[in-house]
Amino acid sequence: MFSKEEIEELVIQIRREHGLPVTPFEIDEVRYDREEDKLFIIAHDRTDKSVIIGSSLVIGKLKEILGVKMVSVYTTLDLILKRMQLERSLNFAEEHGLDFLIPFIKAEFNFPPRKWPNPKKSTKGIVFLTFNAKALLGFANTFGIESQVYGVRYSFPKLSFIPVDRSIREVFFPSEEFLKSLVKDEEIILSEFAFPARFDKVVLINPIRFLRIGYFELKYLFGESRPAIFNKADLLDYVVKMISEGLMEATDGARIIRWGWKR
């Protein structure tokens, strides 16, 4: 429905109309999800992506002109890195008998667009709420995990969970040893671990890293969450790590840090 050439011409037109420099850029592919009315632009690299987004002005105008519900821009490198992680995740799931995760991993290989299977009851697990609390709950529900939900006391007053008295740093960086001590008959723990997945008496998974889904996408999938208590230095540490791994855009990181410093 939409060609690379058409999108390139529109980006140039919008940039000229708004006094932005017409910097050379390259689009590798354009994908349109007719069912969801979403357009996905695959730029060659991050510089090309920045030109297409144009501080949100260009991509916003592009969405208006095309009349689609959403326009998202990724890079070929983004998708290569994602597929590399998905290969590792698929191997992990197969090795540890996590058959219920395999359809989701395979679906992500075809992203964009994202077409997940319907949730089916899979196993018992623990969710420990960290910064992306709503996303963790959303992943547990999507994967069909029957979960006991824990979190640092007072951290997410609008969410339902079992409060535990833990270091405030664990709002961002959960303790593996503590969470393993909570396990009874659960088979999996979901939280924002520093790694995608690990097996140590129980399966520990950070679904964000496991499927390599960035913060920008998480917002639209599950909504945003904000902890009520946190240490500003920990927030900064968390954001920097997410940006450095390509899991958060610098603009989102800056917005989150501004929010945190105003608290």
Q: What is the chain's pLDDT, residue by residue, as a tens digit (263 residues)?
A: 799 999 999 999 999 999 999 999 999 999 999 999 999 999 999 999 999 999 889 999 999 999 999 999 999 999 999 999 999 999 999 999 999 999 999 999 999 999 999 988 879 999 999 999 999 999 999 999 999 999 999 999 999 999 999 999 999 999 999 999 999 988 999 999 999 999 998 999 999 999 999 999 999 999 999 999 999 999 999 999 999 999 999 889 999 999 999 98
**Residues ≥6 apart with Cβ < 8 Å to 236:** 257, 260
Task: Say whether 103 sits in a helix, a strand or coil.
Answer: helix
pLDDT at res. 246: 92
pLDDT at res. 94: 97
Task: Say whether 70 sits in a helix, a strand or coil.
Answer: strand
Nearest CA to 173 among 125, 223, 224, 241?
A: 241
pLDDT at res. 55: 82
pLDDT at res. 56: 87
DSSP string over 129-174 = E-TTHHHHHHHHHHHTEEEEEEEETTS-TTS--EEE---GGGGTS-
pLDDT at res. 188: 97
pLDDT at res. 122: 79
pLDDT in tens, 142-199: 999 999 999 999 999 999 999 999 999 999 999 999 999 999 988 999 999 999 999 9
Task: Say whether 12 sits in a helix, a strand or coil.
Answer: helix
Return the half-sphere exposure (C-beta side, CA atoms, 13 A cut-off) of residue 36: 13
Distance CA 173, CA 194 (A): 8
